[in-house]
């Protein structure tokens, strides 16, 4: 009989996912007024790499 070898799955790192554009965004602050844009904005932060982005409402 043949010997069956178990294969291990490669580990995916959170940093590697973010490098390829798969961020996990969560809302940090909602309805903040931005003086430069003159609009309400929402602050989003990635849970894995702490990158931040701002979206206008």
Burial, 46: exposed, middle or buried (Cβ in 10 Å; 0-12, 13-18, 19+)?
middle
1, part of any domain: no
How many domains does the chain fold into? 1
Is 37 inside a domain boundary? yes
Domain with 44, as residue range(s), is: 24-56
pLDDT tens figures, 1-57: 789 888 887 665 566 788 888 999 999 987 888 888 888 999 999 998 889 998 887
| Percentage with pLDDT > 90 across the chain | 28
User: What pLDDT score was predicted for residue 25?
Assistant: 94
pLDDT at 51: 92
40 within some domain = yes
Does the residue 11 lie in any domain?
A: no
Q: Is the dihedral of CA 26, 31, 32, 35 positive or negative?
A: positive
Q: Is residue 45 part of a domain?
A: yes
* C-alpha pair distances (Å), 38 with each of 30, 51, 52, 53, 56: 15, 23, 20, 17, 10
């Amino acid at each position: 009989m043949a010997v069956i070898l178990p294969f291990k799955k490669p580990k995916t790192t959170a940093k590697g996912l973010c490098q390829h554009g798969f961020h996990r965004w969560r809302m940090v602050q909602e309805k903040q007024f931005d003086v430069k844009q003159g609009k309400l904005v929402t602050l989003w932060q990635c849970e894995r790499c702490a990158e931040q982005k701002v979206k206008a409402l």
